[in-house]
Chain A
């Protein structure tokens, strides 16, 4: 069966997709600013700061998956996608966007608060 017909049988509602990704974006930008506060207060510099950001945002995505996405996805047989664990296709179209989108979306906010609190606390 062609992809087009599959979408016609199980259509994707655009509003729901937008709502889901907007919720994710809000979480990402808010937590990125808070990570910046944390990194600034800890006084992290250069690589360790960016590493802190990488680990923390991956951890956020992981928690988001465990708390919000996984229970319903696993209960319903992971929606339309066929994957096992770590499959977010029930709520998000792109897996990459879910797991690493926060890195790009929150980076500017992270650097702003990191600089601010580093400047206030250390330098």
Chain B
């Protein structure tokens, strides 16, 4: 069987200085820029008035009591449960008690909810605009150059992706053009950003997409949620708890732990 000769292509060493280096530098600097743009554009959380804060904190207190009931003794848990349930059911903590029982306002008409959506839009924009710009920049300036060889073989299917703009039929798909170096940079620069900006940076679009999937903690007090209904549900949750203390049978556990 005849050996397929290894393709060698003589490339101008200047390709390195004028294509590889600029693309890499631009990718890194865009990541840094995106990080600081996100930091600067992050709007400070809006100040809430006293009534709203009380409403939210009261609900959070109920949730915390429900979650940590095992650290309380039986009498103190009962006192807390009675007080919270009474207040929830009478609507003492509501922001506007006169609105009880009415339908919540349409979230789209509420100006405070618009701000949340604007924040999401801004993040999306900060991701999309630089990517589009850089891709068209690379396509305009650097298309058609073969700059590097991958160190591992690939199937022929990758050819159209890696060698976009290089219309050479017989070339090994291991040779890659500048646009594929751009893709490699997108995926691989996360560790560089970790090193440069700390691990909770906003530079990588990958991390942002992951973060977008996680449920938002602010959703609980979002517009369109009726606080009265939340209070009643929480009162019900508290009522069904079967109390026990974490200290039940602690003497037994202590004696078991002592080895003579």
Q: Quick one: closest A residue to B150, CB to CB?
A: A115
Min CB–CB distance B35 → chain A (angstroms): 16
Contacts of A44 on B, CB cut-off 8 Å?
Answer: 151
Contact: A33 with B192, CB < 8 Å?
yes
B139 proximal to A (CB < 8 A):
no
Asked whether B45 is an interface residue with its Cβ less than 8 Å from the other chain, the reply is no
Find out whether the CB atom of B184 lies under 8 angstroms from the CB atom of A120.
no
Most buried by B among A44, A112, A118: A112
Q: A114 — which chain B residues lie within 8 A by C-beta?
A: 151
The stretch of A55-63, A64-72, A85-93, A103-111 that contacts the partner chain: A103-111
> Do A29 and B191 form a contact, CB below 8 Å, given A112-B184, A120-B16?
yes
- Of A33, A45, A50, A120, the contact of B191 (CB 8 Å cutoff): A33
Q: How far is the CA of A97 from the CA of B20 in the complex (A)?
A: 35
B199 contacts A26, C-beta separation under 8 Å: yes
A8 interface residue (CB < 8 Å to B): yes
In the assembled complex, the Cα of A118 lies from the Cα of B152 at a distance in Å of 10
Contacts of A45 in B (CB 8 A): 151-152
Q: Is the CB of B149 within 8 A of A123?
A: yes
The smallest C-beta distance from A112 to any residue of chain B, in angstroms, reads 3
- Whether A32 and B151, one on each chain, are in contact in the complex, defined by CB atoms closer than 8 angstroms, is no
Closest approach, in angstroms, between the C-beta of B226 and any C-beta of chain A? 30
Q: Does A119 contact B (CB under 8 A)?
A: yes
Q: How many residues of A contact B (CB 8 A)?
A: 33
Candidates B147, B187, B194; contact of A26 at CB < 8 Å: B194
Q: Given B148, B189, B199, which contacts A22 in the complex, CB threshold below 8 Å?
A: B199
Complex partner residue of B147 from A9, A110, A119, CB under 8 angstroms: A119
Name B's interface SS: helix
Contact B190 A108 (CB under 8 A): yes
The SS class assigned to the A binding surface is helix
Contact A30 B195 (CB under 8 A): yes
- B194–A29 contact, CB under 8 A? yes
B15-36 contacts to A (CB < 8 Å): 16, 20, 24
Q: Is B189 touching A112 in the complex (CB atoms < 8 A)?
A: yes
A8 to B216, CA, bound (A): 26
Q: What does the 1/0 interface line of B126-164 toward A look like (CB < 8 Å)?
A: 000000000000000000000111111100000000000
Instruction: List, in ascending order, chain A residues with CB within 8 A of B199's CB.
Output: 22, 25-26
Q: Which residues of A contact B191 (CB under 8 A)?
A: 29-30, 32-33, 106, 109
Of A9, A39, A109, A120, the contact of B188 (CB 8 Å cutoff):
A109
How far apart are the CA atoms of A97 and B212 in the complex, in Å?
Answer: 23
Decide yes or no: A49 and B152 within 8 Å by CB, A109-B188, A109-B190, A112-B189 being known contacts.
Answer: yes
Report which of A5, A39, A111, A119 forms a contact with B149, defined as CB distance below 8 A.
Answer: A119
Inter-chain pairs besides A46-B151, A46-B153, A123-B149, 5 sampled, C-beta below 8 Å? A29-B190, A39-B151, A109-B190, A111-B187, A114-B151
Instruction: Give 19 pairs: A residue, B residue, CB < 8 Å, sorted on A.
Output: A5-B246, A9-B246, A26-B199, A29-B194, A30-B194, A44-B151, A46-B151, A49-B151, A108-B187, A109-B190, A109-B192, A111-B188, A112-B184, A112-B188, A115-B150, A115-B151, A115-B184, A119-B147, A119-B148
Chain A residues close to B by CB (< 8 Å): 5, 8-9, 22, 25-26, 29-30, 32-33, 39-40, 44-47, 49-50, 106, 108-116, 118-120, 122-123
